[in-house]
Amino acid sequence: MAEKPSNETILEQLKNGVAKFELVSVTARSISTHDYQTFQPSFSGTSHRFFARISPPIGNGGSPAMKKVERYSVLRVTGDGRCLFRALAKGMAMNKGIPLSPRDEREDADDLRMAVKEVICNNGKERHQYEEALVAITVDESLKRYCQRIGRPDFWGGESELLVLSKLIRQPITVYLPEHEHTRGGRGTGFIPIAEYGAEFSKGSVTRKPKKVVRLLYTGRNHYDLLI
């Protein structure tokens, strides 16, 4: 069993925005519900790690999880293992007013996955620009193993891929939890922001237009949907 980190180490991780948390569900065998296709993750265990970005905070200070509840509609995304990439592709297309057919959505999702593979696995020089993602990846597995898995269409994306894609495609992304999951048994119907990526790209600059945020909903079923 791994040694428990000291309080000093935990505080340093919080300060640097690399603290590691776990969202534990009753079962981790599938991210499916009765509405989704069955998906068997390629790794074992009773929980999946989600690396929460604590710093910098969303808004004017304080942890993102402490911000007030926000209200959106949920746009369901197919749970075939591509859900993170599908939700991101769908959100970016909607922000541009571009409709996606089911085929386009699947192909765009695979393009995003393979873009991550290209910079992390096939480009040693460019890889070092994504140190945070590399740290998140190698916590649980070797880079070699990761690169073998990400080539498969049912690869389950998460924190590492969001760290890469937000920077690679200059896309601001905010991840939310359902209010009732955050409050542990509560009945709220809103959503709480817990992680933010690529916030600098929502501001724009002299040479770059600001981009609309894509809002992703992460649930205890290890699934991503889109918030609109």
Average pLDDT over residues 30-43: 32
Concerning whether 80 is annotated as a catalytic residue, the answer is yes
CA–CA separation, 222 and 83 (whole Å): 10
Q: Which of 48, 83, 108, 225 is catalytic?
A: 83
List, for residues 99-141, the tens digit of each pLDDT value: 999 999 999 999 999 999 999 999 888 999 999 999 999 998 9
CA–CA separation, 51 and 19 (whole Å): 7
CA distances, 160 to each of 90, 187, 204 (Å): 19, 31, 24
List, for residues 44-82, the tens digit of each pLDDT value: 333 334 433 333 334 434 444 446 899 999 999 999 999
Topology of domain 63-227 in CATH is Cathepsin B; Chain A (3.90.70)
Question: Taking the model in full, what pTM does it have?
Answer: 0.71
Helix locations, 70-211, DSSP H: 83-95, 102-121, 124-127, 131-138, 143-149, 159-168, 179-182
CA–CA separation, 106 and 195 (whole Å): 25
| 182 band by pLDDT with thresholds 50, 70 and 90 | confident
| 208 band by pLDDT with thresholds 50, 70 and 90 | confident
pLDDT reported for residue 180: 85
Concerning whether 121 is annotated as a catalytic residue, the answer is no
Concerning whether 48 is annotated as a catalytic residue, the answer is no
Q: Which of 80, 104, 110, 121 is catalytic?
A: 80
Token readout for 64 is 């993102």
pLDDT reported for residue 151: 95
Going across the sheet that includes 173-178, the strands are: 74-75, 223-227, 214-219, 173-178, 191-197
User: 195 with 73: CB under 8 angstroms?
Assistant: no
Helix (H) or strand (E) holding 15: helix 7-16
For the chain, report the end-to-end CA distance as a whole number of angstroms: 42
Q: For the chain, what is the largest distance between any 2 Cα atoms, rounded to a whole number of angstroms?
A: 52
What are the backbone angles phi and psi of residue 160, rounded to the nearest 5°? Answer: -60, -45
Q: Which of 48, 108, 223, 225 is catalytic?
A: 223
User: 219 with 178: CB under 8 angstroms?
Assistant: yes
